[in-house]
Amino acid sequence: MELMNRDCSMLPRDFASTSESVFKQDPRLISAINKLYGRNEKDDSNSEIVLPERKLNFEEVQKMLNKSSKDTEKAPSTYLQERSNIRKELIKNIEKILEKLNSSAENGDTPILLLRNQRLWSNCVYDLNRVTLKAFADAKKTTLSYSNREDKTRFNAVVFVLTKVHELLLKNLSVTRRELFYQNVTRLRNQANLDIAVRDVCCLLQTPPWNLGIMATAKGLIAGHIQLQLRDGSYVDCFGAGGTLIPQDVNGIKVFRSTAKYILVVEKDAIFQKLLDEGALGKGYPDVCTRQLLCRLVNELRLKALALVDADPHGYEIFLTYKYGSLAQSHLSQSLACSSLQLLGARHGDVMTLAEKEARLKLTALDKKKIVSLLKRPYLDTAVGFNIKKDLEEMLASGVKAEIEALSPTAAALCDFYLPSKIMQGKYLG
């Protein structure tokens, strides 16, 4: 924290009274950003394949080799053929599942569905720098029985999603989760039941929801010098006032064009708007579309990604979800977990150094429970996770947290002092 402390010790406590922009043209900042950009290009070109401490199967080896090779844009005919093959295979698998359920009922047996239990961290492994599900044979399972009253709602929801997906694939159509919910409100009862059913179906078919024609409702925004070319040939420019809503069909983005040197993922909309006012980049809450887009931007533009969140348990959890993936979406971690993401701020050390005592908040009982839960996550027992774990332990021991606004109460303080100092310091977490 030496550079951070030295820079910030010279700053006035009343940031609002300082209207002059100190760091905007600072050569050290320009150099730090260029170094951040250049280092990522260098790291990407010379990167080694990360191997897990276990034996890989043939399919995993093939995926890793393909990922390490130079990406080439596929011809439209090749892409369409691949999509067609995937659809045909999924249709066949769905028909097998439904046929098995029908046969059980016709033979007088109770129809059942066997699923991996995705409520247990013990069913996940930290593998290839992300959280992923154990193999079906090794995982603890949940049996959904049609005759069981407690299982019936979930069982019916899974069958409903399977039949709807079968129809979507046959007609080559897509639908949002919300639209799907309103097609059978009586049976589904609430959106959460549908979301669980979609997750269950994805696990059964071992495929992401976008391959099933089910699109998540986008919540995140993107802003900056970046242009997206969509599958239909249209373009989306993201350098507009207030930011641009992330497309629902992230998989349908064909080309990214950008002059950006790094990506900044921002937790809060209020902070995002402050950054926009100063001409800076991006925002996103960890919904599926935002996480999927972040992974594609990092991989295809070869940019470094930094996170800006509150220095509280919730902020750290958001960062960890982007970086390692979540329990609920562990079956999609290959497309959603951005393992190279690093935390720019706000870190617990920043709170103790920069935030006024009056601006620091006491951890609640729920906050402490959240930290204890985070500390148990398997990916923190790694070389990279060690320092993240240390931050959380220090937060728990101190009993305090703070929002970003406590460190930088104005847009000028955030954009001209805090962020440049952190970037010049260059000591990112993760």
Domain positions in the chain are 78-215, 221-425
Three-state SS at 244: strand
Q: Which one is catalytic: 126, 182, 324, 428?
A: 182
Domain made up of 78-215: CATH architecture: Orthogonal Bundle (1.10)
**Token digits of residue 7:** 């820079």
pLDDT in tens, 301-340: 999 999 999 999 999 999 999 999 988 888 888 889 999 9
Q: Is the Cα torsion angle 272, 333, 393, 368 positive or negative in sign?
A: positive
- Which of 71-85, 191-205, 216-230, 240-254 comes out lowest in average pLDDT? 71-85
- Clarify whether 235 is annotated catalytic: no
- In CATH terms, 221-425 corresponds, of 3.90.1150.10, 3.30.530.20, 3.40.1360.10, 2.40.50.100, to 3.40.1360.10
Per-residue confidence (pLDDT) for residue 393, from 0 to 100: 97
Q: How far apart are CA 10 and CA 14, in angstroms?
A: 12
- Is the model's pLDDT at 415 over the cut of 90? no
Of 305, 295, 307, the residue nearest 336 (C-alpha): 295
Q: How far apart are CA 112 and CA 244, in angstroms?
A: 44
Mean pLDDT, residues 256-274: 86
pLDDT in tens, 333-355: 888 999 999 999 899 999 999 99
Per-residue confidence (pLDDT) for residue 270, from 0 to 100: 78
Q: How far apart are CA 371 and CA 393, in angstroms?
A: 8
pLDDT in tens, 99-157: 999 999 989 899 999 988 877 777 787 776 788 877 777 888 889 999 898 898 999 99
Question: Is there a shared CATH topology between the 78-215 domain and the 221-425 domain?
Answer: no
Work out the pLDDT band at 248, boundaries 50, 70, 90. Answer: confident
- Chain-centroid distance, C-alpha 164: 27
Buried b (16+ CB within 10 A) or exposed e, 243-282: bbebbbbbbebeebebebbbbbbbbbeebbbbbbeeebbb
Q: Do residues 204 and 165 make contact, with C-beta atoms less than 8 angstroms apart?
A: no
Per-residue confidence (pLDDT) for residue 52, from 0 to 100: 54
**Token digits of residue 192:** 């959460």
Buried b (16+ CB within 10 A) or exposed e, 111-128: bbbebbebeeeebbbbbb
Q: What is the pTM of this model?
A: 0.78
Tell how many helices (H) and how many strands (E) occur in the chain. Answer: 18, 16
Q: How far apart are CA 62 and CA 346, in angstroms?
A: 39
pLDDT in tens, 31-50: 877 777 765 544 444 444 55
